[in-house]
Structure 1
């Protein structure tokens, strides 16, 4: 039996499939033959043909400047990309960079809403599952990367008061141990300026420090706290 959160995520995935069905790469899209062969490019130009999962991942992870029309490329792979992410992807944040570079939040309302709905459902499910396909901290990093913002994801975390969500919080603090004691950010694939990235990470660190009153956190992570 599926969980309510799983049903919400499945509905979000289905919405993306409906919204972006029939979309293709530009007919004149040209790519480096070393990265994608002509058969793969032709698949990207053809609507509603199922793509190999490996191709979906490589397209999403590719340097955004590789493409003539990167947003069109991302829209083409989105119906399968969200499935890959939901099921557990290696380097999900790198795939999320492709979304950020495509500027999805500025797309038409229905398209932007479908992407936002997926990210929200993916993050919520990760917070509520004991063992999500992708660790919660990595889903967080991916959602932050995709949106170039930490605020909506921290807001969701804030209201999740269950034992599972608190466990993910403690686990994430351990995952980010080195970054929390330095000026480095865990947002490896941040799409924006270095200053914006540092400001975002500072916001996360401040929020996490405030949570330690209710959560057991390893000693030594907050050297400025008395």
Structure 2
């Protein structure tokens, strides 16, 4: 039986479908070297009849392969996002986040952006209540961070959710980002567009520190890096 959080995610995904139902089919044109006429015809037809393989191809493809990339990506967004959340897309989550940014999703009509925002929130909360989840904690955090252009709200939600699953996800994230001290220069997004290290490391060493006994967080090198970074941030902060 689905948990409360899983039901909320299902509700958010269904609402996403309804919000984007207003995006009508249009004649899709693009790179005929990579896509056959039948592919373009299929993309121009009913959303539900587009094959999963073709949805995945569009989700990953560079924007200049399409004459109207933002409109095509917007129309396929419900299919792309549902497949990402359920781990059925087989396209790197960082790439999906970067493509959404390139499609300028935050400029879409308000009902569409609101519905996507509800999915981000529900997906994140569900991830923090399930361990293991279908998508790794790092990939979920990276996608919602790059897509929204902000990390701290997602960390604040994590701080507030104190469940065994959330703590287990924390342990997984630490294992992931501590390999060769990646945490000291961690970037998110397919093009490394979001510099996550300062916020994430500060959170791990402060708000999250009491939730893990991982001694790697006490490494002198890491603590010195954090101290230096904090001082650098303060020195570049404009005076009040």
The alpha carbon displacement at 1:22 in A equals: 4.7
What's the counterpart of residue 43 of structure 1?
A: 42
Q: Do 1:44 and 1:76's aligned partners in 2 also have CA atoms closer than 8 Å?
A: no
CA distance in 1, matches of 2:218, 2:102: 33
How is 1:172-191 mapped onto 2 (pairs within 5 angstroms)?
172-178=173-179, 180-181=181-182, 183-190=184-191
The alpha carbon displacement at 1:179 in A equals: 6.5
The answer for unaligned runs of 5 or more in structure 1 is: none
Q: Do 1:97 and 1:146's aligned partners in 2 also have CA atoms closer than 8 Å?
A: yes
Residues 42-97 of structure 1: CA deviation (Å, up to 9, x unaligned): 22222434221121122111123333322211121112112201211431221222
Q: Do 1:145 and 1:189's aligned partners in 2 also have CA atoms closer than 8 Å?
A: no
Among 187, 198, 203, the alignment partner of 2:199 is 203
What's the counterpart of residue 10 of structure 1?
A: 10
**Which has the greater radius of gyration?**
2
What's the counterpart of residue 93 of structure 1?
A: 94
**1:212/1:116 CA distance change after superposition, 3 Å:** same
**1:182/1:36 CA distance change after superposition, 3 Å:** same
SS in structure 1 of the partner of residue 216 of structure 2? coil
Residues 97-148 of structure 1: CA deviation (Å, up to 9, x unaligned): 2212112122221110011111111111111112211112211112122222
The alpha carbon displacement at 1:224 in A equals: 4.0
CA distance in 2, matches of 1:113, 1:30: 29
Q: Do 1:100 and 1:191's aligned partners in 2 also have CA atoms closer than 8 Å?
A: no
More helix by share: 2
How is 1:207-222 mapped onto 2 (pairs within 5 angstroms)?
207-210=203-206, 211-219=208-216, 222=219
CA distance in 1, matches of 2:183, 2:166: 25
| CA RMSD in angstroms, aligned pairs only | 2.3
**1:216/1:10 CA distance change after superposition, 3 Å:** same
Aligned residues: 220
Q: Do 2:183 and 2:197's aligned partners in 1 also have CA atoms closer than 8 Å?
A: no
Deviates more, 1:117-126 or 1:211-220: 211-220
Compute the TM-score of the two structures, normalised by the length of structure 1.
Answer: 0.86
